[in-house]
Structure 1
């Protein structure tokens, strides 16, 4: 019984609403990512689970028990803070085992847990160093080890990798997944980094201004974002959102007229204007493309290139392609598969729906 359930949870500071009517469940043993921009309420949500913030209204359950009034020390959670929060006067080993010693755990058990955590996180040989003698990556691993030795059913992480460089972050992501696969706690991980979210999470909860925008697997959120915020937040570069008019089965974008597949026509019947969402990697530069424009800028992404195509009405459409592919000059076209298209309501920003991929055709 290690699941977590939010039922209409609110958190406010005075008149400022930080978490607004949050309802979601976290399955026992899963890795759930709380993803969103700064100030969206993700850390506050994590701290409510830990008991470091009170619930203003609603119900928070852990393991089937309502914990609104349960003290942090009685919730049996292990937490890794963004700042690591290591004791500067204690050695690596003492930092890792301090919580266990305070619980009067038998010395043999403390030693066993400490040695196992040191080995798992490649800290063997650093036991007697002080935090000031460690690199950023080593400090991060000590903080993880301190949480790991507790062997709690809940593992809470607040942007633990944000202080590391790109290479260390990649290594640390791999270590986190291995740790979870080994102990299988219910893991809640806060980040604003979509790469971390996509690679670590079983599911992702996307938050914005305290409101849950979408809760689903990484693949579903990437392919079928619930609204324009999720579409623009997930992806590097983000999804193209091109505004167009819809009339008599045709989508008008700039100087282009696109015949919409019949399956989409049924879903768009009540719309006069929509945002067409298409991922840059699903757009192909082609002289025969249905959407026409001019290449304004090409960004070098290493093994890939990102071309900025300016459409006739001034909108921009991004395409990502292999670095060795030639880039057409002057007026060009963009083609795509309707199977990869999302349409969003211009007024609400919500995803209008999906259509049968078997009925798709190439634009």
Structure 2
């Protein structure tokens, strides 16, 4: 499949234009050297929360080794795929990358196990949601600039961050609206009843593609399942047959690499073709047409969407619920579940700046400060705090 270079055909009419951005909560003069979306991307990369992703679990694999994905390596892979989709569709690559790089900033230590545990702790205080937490990070918790809290990102990046999976209000909303998202929307409206722009939709699709490819890779490397096992997924079985037909007997490591690159390529090429069809179908002449199309316009074809579902259906029992992984997740949840009440009851156990915030509040407000502190932890920092507070070492391996 030959992809036309967008530099030749120019920007798509539905692409987000950085020179026409709806702006920032705290207006700033334009940069003479970078577009507004480039500035957003750079602020995200230089944030403390972004650096912490290097030491946060992606899908926890209970083995020692440096080659399994972390939340940071996952984020970088999502950013690369988002840029590839944006370039092929003549969208704004910098905006697609900015949304991709920010999408996981709200994740807790220990991956989804940590999020599940923190949500349970926060259930009576409004719950915990990593998407809403990402918004808190970039609008409140990063304290780098003299004039404001947060990173002061553009409307387009913020709407992409909260709506990349679809509208949050109205008949097309696919999940509950988190309290902080509603609070921020009242201050800086993000049109929560519409879809995000095409770049954010590309970032969401890139997240699915990266998950499928690298979870297969990590699961195979961890020996949680075999090539023969995953060949039962028709989409994967076809590609393994192709690899054998072209290369014959190939060492297992090379087969795994070849499979991963083919998975990414097939999904990306399908998404480009299908998205072009959908954009033509809805007559997308502007980014507003994409927002108000009533459906996602950057998407897989029905057969490829089914392939995505079949991979996830395979991975759920074989990887995410594998007995080795579940045992680790149980211990990781224990760490979070025991840390939370200690910090809530005795804020002095947190660093001074966090203790001061928590002591000044009661109830839900104090709980949210504690959740902010725990969510920002890396895996190893959380384990160190657990050992310091309870005098015992929690082994996750």
Shorter-chain TM-score above 0.5: no
Structure showing greater Rg: 1
Task: For CA contacts below 8 A with separation 6 or more, give which structure has more relative contact order.
Answer: 2
* Range of TM-score over shorter length: under 0.3
Which structure shows the higher helix fraction? 2
- After TM superposition, the score normalised by the length of structure 2 is 0.23
Which structure shows the higher strand fraction? 1
- After TM superposition, the score normalised by the length of structure 1 is 0.25
